[in-house]
Structure 1
Amino acid sequence: MSLQLVETRILVIADKTCPCGDLHEQVVKSAEGTAADVLIVAPALNSRLRHYLSDTDGAIRAAERRLATAIAELANLGLVARGAVGDADPIQAIDDTLAEFAAHEIVISTHPEEHSHWLERNLVFRARERFEVPITHVVSWYGAPLAAA
């Protein structure tokens, strides 16, 4: 008789913190003891000017690079994950993804409050209000501007 693992679907939303070790540790912890289906969505972040000019190619390529790094690191930790570039608005990216991926948990990774546009816009609070899926928030300094000495 073989032990059958329960499937859990984990949706990760991360921008510049996508390659962060703390985030990867949280995903491994969330997946522990399950047959995890992990989908990492990296919004295509762009400047207002580039967005206005419809120049999204660079933002998409940067998101794809962050995803590749995160997927490779999770593989090194023994976890298979896949990735997708999402809408620049993280709430819209979650909404779009949940339409096709019925997540059991959403992991949102941000920079610390003083460096996070997402926290400035109350992303975690808004996501918890809007989605009926448990949300874990990971704070990371990965890729954040260094404080002046």
Structure 2
Amino acid sequence: MSTILVVANETLAGAQLLEVVKDRVAAGGEGTRVIVCVPRNKPKHGNIIYDDFVFDAAKVRIDLARRFLRDQDINAVGDIGDPDPYTATMDAVREHHPDEIIVSTYPATVSGWLRRDLIERIEQASGLPVTHVEQDIDAVGIPFHVTLVVAAKTASGDELLASLKAKAGDDPRGSLFIVIVPQEGGEGHHAARARARMAQVVDRLISENLIAAGMIGDPDPYTATMNALQFFRVDDIVISTLPATRSGWLRADLVERVRKVTNKPVEHVETADRSATQAA
């Protein structure tokens, strides 16, 4: 049984990498293992770096990659690695004992990994065959339509689910939904509550046969959104809020700020304030 170690971060969903992995697995035959190693990224926005967010961002990449590979009848194991890609790779080599390594990067003109001679260092240290896949996913894109979903108190609202189902249309397997839930305060119970909300909406999307993964984010929804856009290439954004009379996000002009800065389509989904209705 052969083992293939795939090391990638922002280019993990690129079509070229996925084709290389499929070809290697086909050549290796039944029983070939795929280990997907994703080094953690450090967010650029916000005054505080939340460990949960950094970990979740890497886990989202792994979850989405594994689901796609599973659709291709390829079993894959995820490994969240050290922020340094060389250290992450060598840690994975020591743990999983692969027969070969595939490293995916941006082109040399923009890749920080290549400026550190990553490929040559891994070859020399591991003694294994290393395939380098260079992908400009910003120019070429990825074989999915990716929607970033930003929600907190309204994450489990029926209005949001209906909107996302309509967005997926007749091709639900061609759409990816990345859900981010700001944690409304520091870590601890705030993070736990945000994680529960995130898990609920992701479970609802998966039950509707949609491909989704989620993470919690910075307490400030604008910072959480901008960090998610740093980590993921997205096509559009959906922001779910309470009605204007109850929404702090709308009072902070979140939707328009994100629309102006990103130049991406931003859809605003307003969810009925059921807590206020029940109180009344």
Fold shared by both chains (TM-score > 0.5): yes
Larger radius of gyration, structure 1 or 2? 2
Q: What does residue 270 of structure 2 align with?
A: 139
Matched, 1:10 2:147: yes
Gap change, CA 1:89 and 1:148, over 3 Å in 2: same
Higher relative helix content: 2
Partner of residue 167 from structure 2, selected from 30, 33, 42 = 30
Partner of residue 181 from structure 2, selected from 11, 28, 42 = 42
Trace 1:91-102 onto structure 2 (pairs within 5 A). 91-102=222-233
Gap change, CA 1:147 and 1:122, over 3 Å in 2: farther
Partner of 1:146, secondary structure, is helix
The answer (yes or no) to whether the contact 1:110–1:119 under 8 Å persists in 2 is yes
Q: What does residue 78 of structure 1 align with?
A: 209
* Amino acid of the structure 1 residue aligned with 2:218: D
Q: What does residue 62 of structure 2 align with?
A: none
CA–CA distance in 2 between the matches of 1:87 and 1:143? 25
Deviations 1:7-61 (A, max 9, x none): 1001000011111111011112112236111100000012xxxx5xxxx211110
Structure 1 residue 145 displacement after superposition: 3.0
Structure 1 residue 147 displacement after superposition: 7.4
Matched, 1:121 2:258: no
Deviations 1:123-148 (A, max 9, x none): 11111111111000000025543376
Identity %: 29
| Higher RCO (CA-CA < 8 Å; seq separation 6+) | 1
Q: What does residue 111 of structure 1 align with?
A: 242
Q: What does residue 3 of structure 1 align with?
A: none
The answer (yes or no) to whether the contact 1:128–1:134 under 8 Å persists in 2 is yes
Count residues in correspondence.
136
Structure 1 residue 80 displacement after superposition: 2.0
TM value normalised by structure 2: 0.46
Partner of residue 68 from structure 1, selected from 196, 199, 203 = 199
CA–CA distance in 1 between the matches of 2:257 and 2:165? 25
Superposed CA RMSD: 1.7
Partner of 2:264, secondary structure, is coil
CA–CA distance in 2 between the matches of 1:72 and 1:147? 25
Structure 1 residue 107 displacement after superposition: 0.2
Partner of 2:210, secondary structure, is coil
Q: Point out where structure 2 has 5 or more consecutive residues left out of the alignment.
A: 1-142
Matched, 1:19 2:156: yes
* Amino acid of the structure 1 residue aligned with 2:221: P
Q: Point out where structure 1 has 5 or more consecutive residues left out of the alignment.
A: 1-5
Deviations 1:56-80 (A, max 9, x none): 2111100110011101111221112
